[in-house]
Every structure is written in C-alpha cells, then in structure tokens.
Amino acid sequence: NVPFYIFAESYGGKMAAAISLELIKEVQLNQIKCHFAGVALGDSWISPLDSVLSWGPYLYSISLLDDQGLAEVNSYTARVQAAIEAGDYQKATELWSVTERVVEKNTDGVNFYNIMTKRTDSDSPQIMPLMKSSQLVSLYKHHISPLQSPSLDWLMNGPIRKKLKIIPDFVKWGGQSNEVFSNMEGDFMRPVINIIDKLLIANVNVTVYNGQLDLIVDTLGQELWVKKLKWPGLPTFSSLRWKPVYTPSKLSDTAAFYKQHQNFAFFWILKAGHMIPSDQEEMALKLLRMVTGQE
C-alpha cells in the first residue's frame, strides 16, 4: 500500500521507462500488488537522435562553437541520423562516439556532463584519438569510468547495506557497467518515446527533469522528443506557462521552472549539469518532494 516511485537518471531513465511499462502491465493484471505512483526521468536518454542533433545548435547558441565548428559537428550528427534511419543502431553508436570527439575538438574539451567545466587532460581529444582499436573501450572510459569510483563500492557494501538491514551476507554489490555497455551497444541509440506515450495513456505519472548545463542529454533535445508525443494531453501541456521553483535557503533565486498537466510534468533545473543531485542537491530534494506529493 506504500506509494512506489521509480527515479532514474541518464541511460537509467531509458531503462526505468521500460521497467515502468512492464510493471504497470503486471499491476493491471493483478500479477503484482504494487501502488505504483510514478516514474521520474532525469537527463534521460529517451531519444538519442534528438539529443545528438541538438548538440550543434545548443553549443553554437552559447558561444562554444563557431560557424566552422557548427558545420563540422552537424555533418557528423547527420551521419548518426543516417545510420539510425537505416536501422543500423550499432553503427549509430560508433558514430555517436566519433561525433563526441569532434565536439570536444571544436570546443577545446567541453565537458559533456556540465558545459561550464572542461574534461581532464587524460580524456582530451589530443590524447584520445577519434577512433580507437576498441570502440567500446573508448566509450566506456569516456562515459562510465569517470562516474565510477571505489567509494561507490564502499558506499553500497558498507553504509547502504547497514542501513537497509535486509541484504543477505552472500549478496555483494558490484558494478558491471563495462559488460552491460558492451551488450547494449546495439540498443543504445534506440528511442523509447513510444514507451513514454504508453505510460501516459496508462495514467502513470511521468516526470521529466533536466539540467540546464547538461550537454550529453541537453534540455533542447528533451524538448524536441516531448513535442513528438502522441499523448492527447500534449497540446494543453504545451500551451501552459511554466512556473518558477525556489529552494528554502535561496528564496530570492530561481532554482528551476516547471509545468504540469494531468499526469505529465517537466522540470527545467537551473545551474545543474547531467548529475542534478550532485550539482543542485537542495533543488533535487525539493523535486523529490514535489514528485512524491510531499509539497
């Protein structure tokens, strides 16, 4: 009877959408007893092509690409689009990686997770060439390895295990990101907009939230796929004006904007990159409370 919510970020948001759809199906069939209250998708890889196609215009608008750089980036994103339209999703993943290198070269190493920072020298395009002998190794080092650290293993097998008090001694937390990434290469660039539509039609509460400073899944790209929804409530949602959101410690500063209609909500989180909880922790907590009906 306890309300159950799924919160996920990045590629996890894409997976969470699919998991939510399967869960609501089982709930409706009375196969699972669950008060499924909603899913929240943060900076999520819902429509890879929309994200990639928006990189050039987004970077150009904030003075991180000049005319020549914009033209080069757009030429590579067009190759990604061609591969997707041809149904070659594995090739699209490879070209996506190459396009990222082109972006870094033209922006002097912009950080895909927060445009206000730069990547370290070890990840710079001068050291990491456009194509490596192992494409997946390059992708893993570029996107997954920087987000992993021994402290995560310590956290999950230490304080979290102790706090939950339900994990058997023989069960250990482990990160299998490399293996997962390798096996998901052909799925990585597939969109799941249709799944969001199905969730909305099934009356599942869906919240999308995105960081203003994110590049890998920029807000511009998120807005593009939202406009493609077939959900009947979209026209009304689109016609609404957004509302500002403030956090308790900074009531004079706008922390975010949001709009909501029926069971769909969108939050524009300011001064945050790809990882909103670490960039704007107070706003992330307020978001959590708003989504779960505590505010």
Of the listed 10, 47, 54, 97, which one is catalytic?
A: 10
Of the listed 43, 50, 214, 218, which one is catalytic?
A: 214
Q: Is residue 142 flagged as an active site residue?
A: no
How far apart CA 21 and CA 198 sit, in angstroms, is 7
What single string gives the DSSP state of each residue in 206-225?
Answer: EEEEEETT-STT-HHHHHHH
Q: Which residues contact 174 (CB under 8 A, 6 or more apart)?
A: 153
Count CB neighbours of 31 within 10 A.
10
Q: Which two tokens stand for residue 120?
A: 């370290």
Of the listed 20, 142, 274, 279, which one is catalytic?
A: 274
How far apart CA 120 and CA 269 sit, in angstroms, is 25
How far apart CA 60 and CA 64 sit, in angstroms, is 6
Helices 89-107 and 67-85 cross at an angle (nearest 10°) of 170
How far apart CA 225 and CA 90 sit, in angstroms, is 21
Q: Is residue 10 flagged as an active site residue?
A: yes
Q: Is residue 261 flagged as an active site residue?
A: no
Count CB neighbours of 230 within 10 A.
12
Question: Which residues are catalytically annotated?
Answer: 10, 214, 274
